[in-house]
């Protein structure tokens, strides 16, 4: 199969999103000192930008704005301040010394604070910290009122986002207050709108989602961040971003949501004596659309947490509320099997490998993709090392484990009971059953055999090449096939969601164009060839 092209939207070096600032709406009084721009930032961009007007003819030699740029410009021109994430204000008194203030900012992971001082409101930023350090007064004796900027510029929630950007550009500032009504002082202050937050909203929202997740102080705030991830996927896919990039970004955002939720639910002692992990496609960084939860909790031996069951139940319930469906197979930390002390989990691993549990191979396969989200990663490392120990005298297990790629779909086998593996062969095919699973699991089996600890399938293939266990051209073909299949599944899932259908693994052949059908045929041929290669490598015929 020819390698799928790495297509990205075309861009023009001098096509910018930032219009020239001709007018701005601010408040009366003298302009506050400008915040420093180390690299010129948006101000330089604005100074050099001459936006083409709708009636202007195309300029010779210029590339027209890409679809992404047009979408971003529309977003900027049609959105209002209330549509953007506005961080809640953090207030300090004007007499607070600089060292105490910086300590408070560090604890809250903030870079600015609003200053109350005798009825007036100021703002303190890292730029003010730089100026404070240049003063003769020691920082621990310097009051913040001496360096803060008072009467900062403000916008209203109903103001156009375009106006907020113009205000920042004109006055070379990075932040504006968001204020309801015409009050003065602290009255009516809703929060602070930062330049990064504004531009993240205009661009692709990923920075915004990460910021919202990290700073969430309630379940509702964290839910709002999690619920935006699917819309981000739609935007990125529409922009032509490569599927592996989307998967990596979505995976990291999901983990930030999971991590913050765990911080909100679990007491410090539990967080310090446990390891929260995600598994399966989420652990490999290959899950894009929310399908189901695959998570677990490993506990330090000898540690007991009062109310642990209630905490794990709340974690699972919250994720369901955030849009992450429950796992049909119960692979969630709210189930006893997936919430155990390390020593007990090692016994479970032994039963999965050497016992007769029919679910053992599936559970082991899922665990082999485990990635740390929060807590003591040493617990996961110890459990993973125990898998290698258990297999030292059972080389034949690798072949039996890998044989799932051949028997996939047989009536009594664990792999046939994976969710979503049905469909009318004449009208649709199951991408997971015929393509993604055999490829992913075959590579997983090879990684297990050769003690490769990378999690992503592409990374495992690269490691197999580097250790001399696979030809580079074969690994490249498998990587290309996997990315094509995941991309095809993503496109199908987005159509299903748009039509009000639940996302699944089956794809309708009538929805594919001629080139897509040909590429699918070649991708599945690569998978079939890989299964044959595995059969020879592990001698399936002798099992």
The 3-class secondary structure across 489-539, one letter per residue, is HHHHHHHHHHCCCCCCCEEEHHHCCHHHHHHHHHHHHHHHHHHHHHHHHHC
Q: What is the tally of structural domains in the chain?
A: 3
Looking at the fold, whether 430 and 452 belong to one and the same domain comes out as yes
Whether residue 210 is found in the same domain as residue 170 = no
- Closest alpha carbon to 114 in 75, 141, 87, 134: 87
Helix axes 360-367, 342-354, angle to 10 degrees: 130
In a domain, 252, yes or no: yes
Q: Would the pLDDT of 205 be above 80?
A: no
Residue after which a domain boundary falls, among 362, 394, 426? 394
**Predicted TM-score (pTM) of this structure:** 0.67
In 10 A of CB 190, how many CB atoms? 19
Specify the DSSP class assigned to residue 143. Answer: B
**Does residue 267 contact residue 312 with C-beta atoms inside 8 Å?**
no
Q: What is the CATH number of the domain that holds 27?
A: 3.10.580.10
Going by C-beta distance under 8 Å and a sequence separation of 6 or more, which residues neighbour residue 343? 301
Q: How does DSSP assign 332-392, residue by residue?
A: STTSGGGEEEHHHHHHHHHHHHHS--TTHHHHHHHHTT-EEEEE-HHHHHHHHHHHHHHTT
Residue length of the chain: 543
Q: Which residue, of 337, 365, 394, is where some domain finishes?
A: 394
Band (pLDDT 50/70/90 cuts) for residue 70 is: low
For 186-223, give the secondary structure using H, E and C: CCCEEEEEEHHHHHHHHHCCHHHHHHHHHHCCCHHHHH
Residue 60 lies inside a defined structural domain of this protein: no
Q: What is the mean pLDDT of the chain?
A: 82
Confidence category of residue 72, pLDDT binned at 50, 70, 90 = low
Q: pLDDT (tens digit, 9 = 90+) per residue, 370-394?
A: 999 999 999 999 999 999 999 987 7
Same domain, 266 and 388: yes
User: How far is 175 from 155, CA to CA, in rounded Å?
Assistant: 10
User: In terms of domains, do 31 and 102 share one?
Assistant: yes
Residue 2 lies in a domain: yes
Q: For 267-282, what is the mean pLDDT?
A: 97
Residue 58 has pLDDT above 70, yes or no: no
Q: Which domain holds residue 306?
A: 204-394
415-467 pLDDT per residue, tens = 443 333 344 444 688 899 999 999 999 999 999 999 999 999 999 999 999 99
Contact status, residue 256 vs residue 215, Cβ threshold 8 Å: no
User: For 181-202, how does the pLDDT look when each residue is reduced to its tens digit (9 = 90+)?
Assistant: 766 667 789 999 988 778 767 6
In a domain, 58, yes or no: no
């Amino acid at each position: 199969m020819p390698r799928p092209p790495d297509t990205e939207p075309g861009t023009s070096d001098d096509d910018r999103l930032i219009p020239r600032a001709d007018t701005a709406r601010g408040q009366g009084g003298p302009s506050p000192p400008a915040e420093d721009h180390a690299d010129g930032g948006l101000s330089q961009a604005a100074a050099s930008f001459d936006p083409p007007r709708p009636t202007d003819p195309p300029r010779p030699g210029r590339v027209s704005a890409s679809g992404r740029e047009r979408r971003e410009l529309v977003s900027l021109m049609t959105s209002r301040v209330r549509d953007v994430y506005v961080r809640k204000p953090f207030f300090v008194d004007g007499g607070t010394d600089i060292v105490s203030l910086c300590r408070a900012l560090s604890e809250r992971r903030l870079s600015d604070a609003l200053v109350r001082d005798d009825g007036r409101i100021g703002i303190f930023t890292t730029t003010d910290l730089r100026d404070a350090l240049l003063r003769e007064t020691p920082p621990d004796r310097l009051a913040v009122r001496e360096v803060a900027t008072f009467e900062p510029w403000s916008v209203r929630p109903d103001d156009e986002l375009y106006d907020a950007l113009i205000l920042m550009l004109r006055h070379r500032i990075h932040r504006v207050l968001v204020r309801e009504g015409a009050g003065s002082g602290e009255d009516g202050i809703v929060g602070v709108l930062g330049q990064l937050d504004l531009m993240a909203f205009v661009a692709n929202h990923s920075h915004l989602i990460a910021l919202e997740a990290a700073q969430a102080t309630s379940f509702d705030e964290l839910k709002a961040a999690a619920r935006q991830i699917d819309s981000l996927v739609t935007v990125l896919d529409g922009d032509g971003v490569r599927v592996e990039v989307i998967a990596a970004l979505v995976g990291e955002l999901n983990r930030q949501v999971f991590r913050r939720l765990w911080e909100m639910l679990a007491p410090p002692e539990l967080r310090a004596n446990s390891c929260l992990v995600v598994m399966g496609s989420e652990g490999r960084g290959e899950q894009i659309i929310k399908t189901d939860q695959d998570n677990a909790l490993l506990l330090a031996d000898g540690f007991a947490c009062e109310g642990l069951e209630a905490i794990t139940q709340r974690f699972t319930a919250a994720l369901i509320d955030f849009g992450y469906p429950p796992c049909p197979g119960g692979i969630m930390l709210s189930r006893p099997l997936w919430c155990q002390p390390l020593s007990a989990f090692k016994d479970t691993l032994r039963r999965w490998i050497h016992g007769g549990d029919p679910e053992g191979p599936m559970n082991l396969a899922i665990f082999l993709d485990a990635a740390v989200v929060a807590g003591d990663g040493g617990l996961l490392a110890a459990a993973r090392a125990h898998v290698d120990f258990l297999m030292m005298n059972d080389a034949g297990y690798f072949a039996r484990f890998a044989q799932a790629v051949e028997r996939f779909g047989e009536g009594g086998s664990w792999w046939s009971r994976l969710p979503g593996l049905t469909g009318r062969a004449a009208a649709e095919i199951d991408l997971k059953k015929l393509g993604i699973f055999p490829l992913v699991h075959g590579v997983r089996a090879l990684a297990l055999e050769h003690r490769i600890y990378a999690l992503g399938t592409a990374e495992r293939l690269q490691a197999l090449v580097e250790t001399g266990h696979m030809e580079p051209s074969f690994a490249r073909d498998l990587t290309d096939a996997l990315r094509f299949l995941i991309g095809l599944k993503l496109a199908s899932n987005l159509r299903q969601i748009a039509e009000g259908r639940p996302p699944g693994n089956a794809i309708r052949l009538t929805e594919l164009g001629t080139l897509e059908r040909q590429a699918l045929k070649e991708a599945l041929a690569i998978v079939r060839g890989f299964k044959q290669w595995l059969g020879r490598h592990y001698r399936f015929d002798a099992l």
